[in-house]
Structure formats: C-alpha cells, structure tokens
C-alpha cells in the first residue's frame, strides 16, 4: 500500500521544527496520509466456507457429485433424509402430527436451537434463510461463504447477512514453466487487493530467452487504485514483450514499458473529460495511481526498472552477498539522501512512506529508474511490494526469509514469502515475484561498463554493468 502526499500541501506548510531541505532540492510534501490502516478497517469474508452442518437436510444433496457419487467416505451410504425418525423412510410408520407450540420470543431463541431445528420446507427454524437459500440454489446464485444462508447480490454482498464475499483477485498465482513465478494476496486487513503483477517470457531476435516480472502497488489514498495497478502491469507486459521481440535493447525496452504503464494509468483518469465516475474527483485531482517495479533477465544480464517504493532484491544461493537493487521514491529516502536525517530518524517519521514518484495523471513527472547488473553466481531476484518488505526491509533480512530452494521452485518461494508477510501481520496487500538466475554461463564474461547513474545495488551486490 503506497500513499502520495496530500494534494494541496506544499513544503511551505511544514510544522515548526520540521527539517528544511536544501534550496536546490525539489519541494517536499510533509503532510501525508497514514501508511497504516486503522484497527477498525473492515475485514473481508473468510477465505473458505465453514463446514456444513450435518443436521441440515440440504447437506447430503449439496455434497453429491454430478455422477451420483458423494464426496464423503468411500463406500459410505449417503442418506436421503436427515434422520431415521418415524415417517421419514418409505414404508415406515407414519409419525403423529406434532402439537402446535407457541413460537418463542426472538430473544429466547439461541443460535444452537435455530441450527438444530428445521422446518418442513428445509429452512432454518424461526427465520427465512432457508427459503432464501433454496431460491438462490434454484436460480444458480452462489451462497454466502459466511452465513451459508443468503444469496450473493450483484454487488458482491450477501442479501441475508450483508457480508462481503471474497473476490477472485484476493489471491492469485502464476508461473511460467519454472522461469518466473508470482503470488499476490489481499492480506489480512485490506477489504480488496490493490496490487497486481504480470509475467512475461519471450525470445530475442537471436533466439535467446528473456523473462520478466512486473509488480505494481495501487496508491490507496487515490481513487480506483486496484484498476491503476492492473492497467499498469498489463500495459508494461505488452510493451516489454513486443519491444524485446523486435530487438530493442533491454534497457530501452524496460524504460519504454514503464512509460507505457504510466500512460495506461493516466488514461484511467479521463483527462479528456470522460472516464471518471459520478461523485469522484475530476481528472488530475486524486487521480488513479500506482507504483511499479520490473526485473528483466535476458541472457546473463539483469535489468531492473521502477517508479515508486516497490522493490527488487538480489538473493544468491549462498546468501553471502544479498543486495537491494532499487532505491525508493519516498520522503524518507529523500531525507536520508540529502543528509537531513539518519535512516532510523527518517523511517520513524509518520511521513516516511509518502512516495515522491508514482504513475498517474497527477504525478510530478514520469522518470523511470533503470539499473543493469550481471549476477556473478546463481540466485533469485525478489520483486515485491511494501506488503512484503515492511517485514524484511534489509537485504539480509530478505535473504533469511527466502526459502533455500527458491531458485529451483520459484512458485513455492513466492508462496512462502507471501506467507511470511501474512505471519508478520499482513497489514497490507502483498505481492511477490521470484525470478531465478543461473549465474554467468560457463566461459562467458560479464559485460563491461561502469556503475549506473540511475541508481545501484549495495556495495556487495552483483556487478553493475
């Protein structure tokens, strides 16, 4: 989850005692929205439905497969009736009609009683959930995963209990034949997933393979951040794939892909006067926005590009020299780079996570950072949003979190890192891509060149080219 500075605030509105940047630095925006969500942030529905009540007469029918075989214990008979009581089986003694009983007051009916008793039409006693569920089943409408009683309305909420239902985007995984894999998850506090990723594998004109991962983080303080991240990831993948196939050099191809992603996000704001929804701010006012980071492996060369605070890490198999390959476009990074605050002081400030670079119609400028490296040994590149690196910020911490077999099993590695973030608290959406690197080919020399002017890895990281 990324946040931009609050619109309309400038460096001239800093509170007394706030650090003042040098005169030649661009104006900073001190007033930002909180980078953490409040404790009462609405939670989404459970990921899996609760176990069916065996006393529910609809249970046996619901669990029968299309071929007539149930999903219970093999060989076990699936009963047609909920209980072997008089009058329930063919040929049995008819049961006497029960004497009418006064309906209990609503406050005297416990949930256990309501769940155990059933009416003649299969509904729960004392309510209308049964007929509603039957109607939903007959109409082919999904049942609520929380209450298992009401149908799900077109807006994604249960018509009985109002609970929001899980979305397909809450958890997504993808892998390209072991060459790269990615996983994204809603996290434990967000009501939706505002991250997105895209994977790309193509061939260069000389037949050499090229593999890339794109990861985007929607700016939560902007409108439609989920759409922004999805649009950016898709546009970057399409641009990158086409450019590489046509023979465009890796650095230029990645730069153009980030620009294409920015154009796609800007288009969402409807800068031509259309495309925005009723009640939303007009174009250029809190427009859709996101961050982006991409890693491209072509031959023995790794190229990384980014805008914002999503990151890429290099983690060799021996864990000896892990490195962070990106530098954040953030308030904290600017304070540290300008020598105004120490890293500890900057990250303790509430403004630390305010980003100074993003994709969107109201971005200050579109200035992609591009760096190129030559991995000198086998390892993996971790491309992620702050939903992960907030729990493993340094290169050393990330190296400890990455599974030992991540290069051989990238999808497993991505799943493990998402689990690491969820176990740490899962306060944000989390997206992780794992890109395996085999190291230089036997007899191949690393390309010549000096350190990249746009940024670089840690001193002990892979050689810059």
Q: What is the pLDDT of residue 325?
A: 97
Q: Report d(CA 300, CA 438) in Å as an integer.
A: 8
pLDDT at 344: 86
Kindly state which CATH superfamily the domain 168-464 is placed in: PPM-type phosphatase domain (3.60.40.10)
Q: What is the pLDDT of residue 393?
A: 92
The helix (H) or strand (E) run that includes residue 80 is none
Neighbours of 124 (CB within 10 A): 21
- As to burial, measured by CB atoms within 10 angstroms (0-12 exposed, 13-18 middle, 19+ buried), residue 313 is buried
- Stretch 403-429: mean pLDDT: 97
* 278-334 per-position pLDDT tens digit: 455 554 568 999 999 999 999 889 999 999 999 999 999 999 999 999 999 999 998
Structure confidence at residue 462 (pLDDT): 60
pLDDT digits (tens, 9 = 90+) for 51-68: 444 444 333 333 333 333
Q: Among 124-133, 257-266, 401-410, 443-452, which is the least confidently predicted range?
A: 443-452
Q: What does the chain come to in residues?
A: 465
Is it the case that residue 447 has pLDDT exceeding 70? no
Q: Taking CA 324 as the corner, what is the angle to CA 322 and CA 328, rounded to the nearest 5 degrees?
A: 165
Q: Which of 381, 358, 378 is nearest to 369 (CA)?
A: 358
pLDDT digits (tens, 9 = 90+) for 178-217: 899 999 999 999 889 999 999 999 999 999 999 999 999 9
pLDDT at residue 228, rounded to an integer:
97
What would the mean pLDDT of 227-248 be, rounded to a whole number? 97
Phi, then psi, of 202 in degrees rounded to 5: -145, 180
Supply the pLDDT for residue 147.
84
The per-residue pLDDT for 142 is 79
In the chain, what percentage of residues exceed pLDDT 70?
A: 61
pLDDT band at residue 261, thresholds of 50, 70 and 90? Answer: very high
Domain ranges of the chain: 47-64+104-166, 168-464
- Residue 255: is its pLDDT beyond 80? yes
Q: What is the per-residue DSSP string for 175-215?
A: ESTTS-EEEEE--SS-SS--EEEEEEEEE-TTS-EEEEEEE
pLDDT band for position 35 (cuts 50, 70, 90): very low
Q: Which residue has the higher pLDDT, 104 or 195?
A: 195
Cβ atoms of 454 and 371 closer than 8 Å: yes
Cα–Cα distance, 122 to 88 (Å, whole number): 14
User: Phi and psi at residue 427, in whole multiples of 5°?
Assistant: -70, -10
pLDDT in tens, 115-150: 333 333 333 333 334 555 555 555 567 788 778 888
pLDDT in tens, 38-53: 333 333 444 444 444 4
Residue burial 131-141, b: 16+ Cβ < 10 Å; e: rest: ebbeebeeeeb
Mean residue pLDDT of the chain comes to 74
- Find, among 212, 145, 213, 209, the residue nearest to 183 by Cα: 213
Give the whole-angstrom CA distance, residue 294 versus residue 199.
10
Q: Which of 76-80, 138-142, 363-367, 411-415 has the highest mean pLDDT?
A: 411-415
């Amino acid at each position: 989850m990324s946040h931009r500075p609050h619109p309309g605030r400038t460096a001239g509105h800093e509170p007394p005692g706030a650090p003042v940047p040098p005169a030649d630095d661009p104006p900073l925006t001190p007033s930002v929205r909180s980078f953490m969500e409040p404790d009462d942030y609405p939670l989404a529905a459970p990921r899996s439905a609760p176990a069916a009540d065996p006393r529910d007469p609809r249970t046996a029918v619901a669990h029968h497969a299309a071929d007539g075989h149930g999903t219970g214990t093999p060989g076990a008979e699936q009963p047609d009736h909920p209980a072997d009581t008089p009058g329930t089986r063919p040929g049995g003694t008819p049961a006497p009609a029960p004497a009418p009983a006064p309906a209990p007051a609503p406050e005297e009916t416990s949930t256990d009683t309501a769940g155990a008793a059933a009416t003649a039409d299969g509904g729960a006693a004392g309510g209308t959930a049964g007929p509603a569920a039957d109607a939903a089943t007959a109409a082919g409408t999904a049942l609520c995963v929380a209450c298992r009683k009401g149908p799900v309305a077109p807006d994604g909420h249960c018509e009985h209990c109002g609970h929001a239902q899980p979305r397909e985007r809450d958890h997504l995984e993808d892998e390209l034949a072991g060459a790269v894999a990615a996983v994204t998850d809603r996290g434990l506090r967000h009501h939706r997933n505002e991250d997105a990723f895209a994977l790309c594998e193509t061939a260069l004109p000389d037949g050499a393979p090229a593999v890339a991962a794109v990861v985007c983080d929607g700016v939560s303080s902007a409108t439609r951040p989920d759409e922004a991240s999805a649009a950016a990831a898709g546009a970057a993948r399409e641009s990158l794939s086409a450019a590489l196939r046509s023979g465009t050099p890796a650095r230029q191809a990645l730069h153009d892909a980030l620009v294409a992603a920015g154009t796609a996000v800007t288009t969402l704001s409807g800068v031509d006067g259309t495309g925005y929804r009723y009640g939303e701010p007009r174009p250029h006012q809190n427009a859709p926005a996101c961050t982006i980071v991409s890693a491209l492996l072509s031959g023995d060369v790794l190229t990384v590009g980014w805008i914002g605070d999503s990151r890429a890490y290099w983690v060799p198999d021996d864990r000896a020299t892990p490195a962070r390959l990106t530098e954040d476009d953030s308030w904290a990074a600017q304070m540290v780079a300008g020598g105004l605050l120490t890293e500890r002081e900057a990250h303790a400030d509430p403004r630390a996570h305010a980003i100074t670079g993003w994709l969107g119609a109201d971005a200050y400028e579109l200035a992609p950072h591009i760096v190129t490296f030559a991995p000198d040994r086998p390892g993996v590149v971790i491309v992620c949003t702050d939903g992960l690196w907030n729990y493993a910020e340094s290169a050393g911490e990330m190296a400890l979190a990455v599974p030992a077999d991540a290069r051989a099993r990238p999808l497993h590695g991505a799943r493990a890192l998402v689990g690491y973030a969820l176990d740490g608290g899962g306060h944000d959406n989390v997206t992780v891509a794992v890109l395996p690197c085999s190291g230089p080919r036997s007899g191949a020399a690393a390309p010549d060149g000096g350190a990249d002017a746009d940024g670089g890895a840690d001193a002990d990281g892979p050689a810059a080219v």
